[in-house]
Structure 1
Amino acid sequence: MIRTNRCLQVSFLSCRAIVSLIFGLIHFAQGPSCIISSFIFGAVMTWLYFLTSRLLPILLHICCM
């Protein structure tokens, strides 16, 4: 049986929102439109990360650069 700390349990949606927000804010220097597009890109990539193989979002990010 795996023991977990209930205080640290966060839903998938919350994790995705937090990671996407951080990813968007990292692009702050590039302007507001880049923050929004980076947030959306981050949300899509986190969704792919959890639903598919872990390598797919990394490969897509490299290809989009």
Structure 2
Amino acid sequence: MALSQTIYNTVFRRNYIFVGAVFVGAFAFEMAFDTISDKVWDRLNAGRQWKDIRHRYVQDEE
């Protein structure tokens, strides 16, 4: 009971804190989801992306 009361008093009691917590949570979720999605995409398409085959087509200007 004490934990739920503490969470209520710190987050849900004031609207501006609740809205801020929602925005921070959404931003953190977006960053984590994008990072994980990029890693999965890179793993599934390894060897077929420009960053993997660039050295075959672009020559250094040295």
TM-score range for the pair, normalised by the shorter chain length: 0.3 to 0.5
- Which has the higher Rg, Structure 1 or Structure 2? 2
**TM-score normalised by L of structure 1:** 0.36
**TM-score normalised by L of structure 2:** 0.38
Q: Whose relative contact order is higher, 1 or 2, with alpha carbons under 8 Å and at least 6 apart?
A: 1
